[in-house]
Amino acid sequence: MIELDNVGYSYGGGELLGDVSVQLAPGSFHFLTGPSGAGKTTLLKLCYGALQPTAGQVRVFDQDMRKLDRDQMALMRRRIGVVHQDCRFLDHLPLSENIALPLLVSGKDLNGEEENLRELMKWVGLAPRADAVPQELSGGERQRAALARAVIMSPDVVIADEPTGNVDWEMSQRLLQLLVELNRMGKTVLIASHDLALIRAAKSQVQARVLRISNRRLQLAGADL
Amino acid sequence: MSAGTIRSLLMGDKQADRVVPPTGFTARLTLFVSGAMAFLAVFALALSLASGRLADRWADELARSATLRINAPADQMADQTMMALTILRQTPGVAEARALTAEEQTALLSPWFGPNLPIDTLPVPQLIEVTETGEGYDQAGLRLRLSAEVPGAVLDDHTRWREPLVAAANSLRRLALVSILLIGGATAAMITLAANAALAANAQVIEVLRLVGAKDRFIAGAFVRRFTLRALLGASVGVVLGMGGVLLLPEASQEGGFLTGLGFRGAAWLLPLAVPIMGAAVAFAATWAAAHRTLKELT
């Protein structure tokens, strides 16, 4: 699905990541961990094309990311659902329209998808909040809404950046549950998190691999977790 | 850009337009600016058409006419006039020669001397209006013959004062056309500024749209549609007001001279209707260019 081949990323002279090689196979479940500022978000951005690597090659769906033109990049993003760290909503639109935004921008018939949308909002437990604007939502609600928006296009890959960053343990368990369910439906899942307890909890439910960034290199973490 | 692209940019649905938050104040400013510009464009258009008409008329009508002025002592005036008329009627190339009546001469002079001056007591020369045929007459020959037989006659073919008038009318027309171009350019600049402001204010929105997989065309379309429709609406109102203003201008009249008759004639009334369409086209192009500049900086 997503392949990083000797990928490096530098900015303003300093190297943040180097020699990163990893393959996300279809249906796999990966955690990405490491200290704050190690480059977790950067690595995720390289995976969905928000950043271009300064070295090496990123291949998404067997295509070299660098060779995609702007429209192809847009089409690629419709196949990768991303839960951003700061959620990224349009603050003037109600929640239901924010979640349906990927459908709207890709020209899908919104009336035909109404049933799907309702079901999805029920799945993340936000059905009663459909008409709320994003500012009125709690942290957990925002994260769940972001997840709903990430999966509404039924993407092949779901990438989540600290999805449990500012929610309590119970809520993070719930979010994890949703991501595990997505994985069982065959989606490739990549989650950046520094919450080791969460990773341990996940390992009991799903065969998750843990990638760790340390000293600008990506390592496959062993059984120490 | 293909016709299909333009159509899909302009069509779009209500729901797609909602992704860009509404902006009350700048929207009204864009409306006002395009309205004001359209209003000015209508006047520039009227001026250019009227000065064009004027230039054509002077160049055309006056070129085919001349005036014969007879300065003679009062007792010889009638004889010399008769003689001149006879000569003129015999000259090939002269279609018509007509001595102005006393009333006509008074009417010509009264704007300068006032109505109360007894003009018939003044030694006013007799004027003869000469109209040429298409081929024209032999000027040098006519002058020679007149000087021999009607010593008091002076032939004036109007060239002397017609040329600067035609030149003035023509440069007035050029000026009006330049004004129309400037108005178009200023509208483009203003819309570009407004569109850039809107794009900058909505940078977050654009980024989110791009992240959830929107193509450039979708994002640009939301802005292009908005500004094109605003320009179209504003310019339509401006044109209606401008045409109303032109309609209220005084009719062309003898007394008003060449300053009246500035309005549109006949089919030319349809011309200002093109102004809103041009305004919308300018807004479309300006917003499209601005949106593409902004989007190029995003991944």
Task: Render pLDDT for B220-266 as a digit per residue (tens, 0 to 9).
Answer: 998 899 899 999 999 999 999 999 998 887 766 655 455 556 778 88
Residues A153-181: what's their mean pLDDT? 88
pLDDT at residue A123 greater than cutoff 90: no
Q: How confident is the model at residue A133 (pLDDT cuts 50, 70, 90)?
A: very high
| Dihedral class, residue B236 (left if φ above 0, else alpha if ψ from -120 to 50, else beta) | alpha
**A183-187 average pLDDT score:** 92
**Residue ending a domain, choose from B102, B120, B151:** B151
Instruction: Encode B15-32: b = buried (16+ Cβ within 10 Å), e = exposed.
Output: ebeebbeebeebbebbbe
- The sheet carrying A157-161 orders its strands as A80-83, A157-161, A188-192, A29-33, A208-214, A217-220
More confident residue, B189 or B24: B189
Tokens of B4: 């299909």
**Is B87 in CB contact (< 8 Å) with chain A?**
no
Q: Quick one: A10 and A65 in the same domain?
A: yes
A161 exposed, middle or buried (CB, 10 Å; 0-12, 13-18, 19+)?
A: buried
Asked whether residue B59 carries a pLDDT value surpassing 80, the answer given is no
Rounded to the nearest integer, the mean pLDDT of chain B is 84
Q: Is B2 exposed, middle or buried (0-12, 13-18, 19+ CB in 10 A)?
A: exposed
> What residues of chain A, 120 to 159, have a C-beta less than 8 Å from chain B?
149, 153
Q: What does DSSP say about strands B153-156 and B65-70: parallel, antiparallel, or unpaired? A: antiparallel
Q: Which two tokens stand for residue B145?
A: 């013959």
Do the domain assignments include residue B162?
A: no
Residue A5 φ then ψ, to 5°: -120, 105
Domain boundary (A104, A138, A154) is at: A154
Final residue before a domain boundary, out of B118, B151, B184: B151
What is the pLDDT at residue A224?
Answer: 46
Q: Which of A35-44, B49-58, B59-68, B220-229 has the lowest mean pLDDT?
A: B59-68
Instruction: Find out whether A149 and A99 touch, Cβ atoms under 8 Å.
Output: yes
CB contact under 8 A, A105 and B208: no
The rounded percent of chain A whose pLDDT value lies above 70 is: 98
B179 vs B65: CA distance, rounded Å: 34
Are B131 and B228 in the same domain?
no
Check residue A160 and give its pLDDT: 93
What is the span of the domain harbouring residue A123? 88-154
Question: What percentage of chain B reaches a pLDDT higher than 90?
Answer: 28
Residue type, B122: L
- Contact in structure between B109 and B119 (CB atoms under 8 Å): yes
Per the structure, the complete domain to which residue B79 belongs is given by: 72-151
Reply yes or no on whether the pLDDT at A157 is more than 90: yes
Q: CB of B213 within 8 Å of any CB in chain A?
A: yes
Verify that A121 and A215 share a domain, yes or no: no
Strand ranges across the sheet with A14-24:
A14-24, A2-11, A55-60, A63-64
Q: Residue B99 pLDDT more than 50?
A: yes
ipTM here: 0.89
Least confident of A203-212, B42-51, B109-118, B198-207: B109-118
Q: Which two tokens stand for residue B193?
A: 């500024």
Does A102 lie in the same domain as A65? no
A73 CB within 8 Å of a chain B CB: yes
Find residues 52-71 of chain A whose CB sits inside 8 Å of chain B: 52, 70-71
Q: Are the Cβ atoms of B216 and A92 closer than 8 angstroms?
A: no
Q: Are residues A99 and A56 in the same domain?
A: no
Indicate if B183 and B44 belong to the same structural domain.
yes
**Is A156:A1 a contact under the CB 8 Å cutoff?**
yes
Residue B181 exposed, middle or buried by CB count within 10 Å (0-12, 13-18, 19+): exposed
- What pLDDT, on the 0 to 100 scale, is given for residue A164? 86
pLDDT (tens digit per residue) in A48-85 = 988 889 999 999 998 898 899 999 999 999 999 999 98
| pLDDT mean over B47-72 | 81
User: Above 80 in pLDDT, residue B96?
Assistant: yes
Instruction: For residues B212 and B275, state if they share a domain.
Output: yes
Same domain, B147 and B209: no
Distance from CA of B195 to the nearest CA of A (A): 19
The verdict on residue B130 lying in a domain is yes
* Mean pLDDT value across chain A: 89
To the nearest whole Å, the CA of B218 is away from the closest chain A CA by: 7
Last residue of a domain, one of A154, A186, A205: A154
- Residue A165 or A56, more confident: A56
Tokens of A217: 């290199």
CATH of the domain at A208: 3.40.50.300
A118 and A168 share one domain: no
Please state the domain count of chain B: 2
Beta-bridge partner residues of A191: A31, A160
Does residue A111 sit in the same domain as residue A212?
Answer: no
The verdict on a CB contact (< 8 Å) between B299 and A50 is yes
Q: Please report, rounded to a whole number, the percentage of residues in chain B having pLDDT higher than 70.
A: 90
pLDDT for the residue numbered B257: 53
Q: Does A104 touch chain B (CB under 8 A)?
A: yes
Residues of chain B with C-beta less than 8 angstroms from the C-beta of A50: 211, 299
Question: Quick one: pLDDT at residue B242?
Answer: 93
Total domains, chain A: 2
* Distance from C-alpha of A102 to C-alpha of A153, rounded to nearest angstrom: 7
Residues A93, B208 contacting (CB under 8 angstroms): no
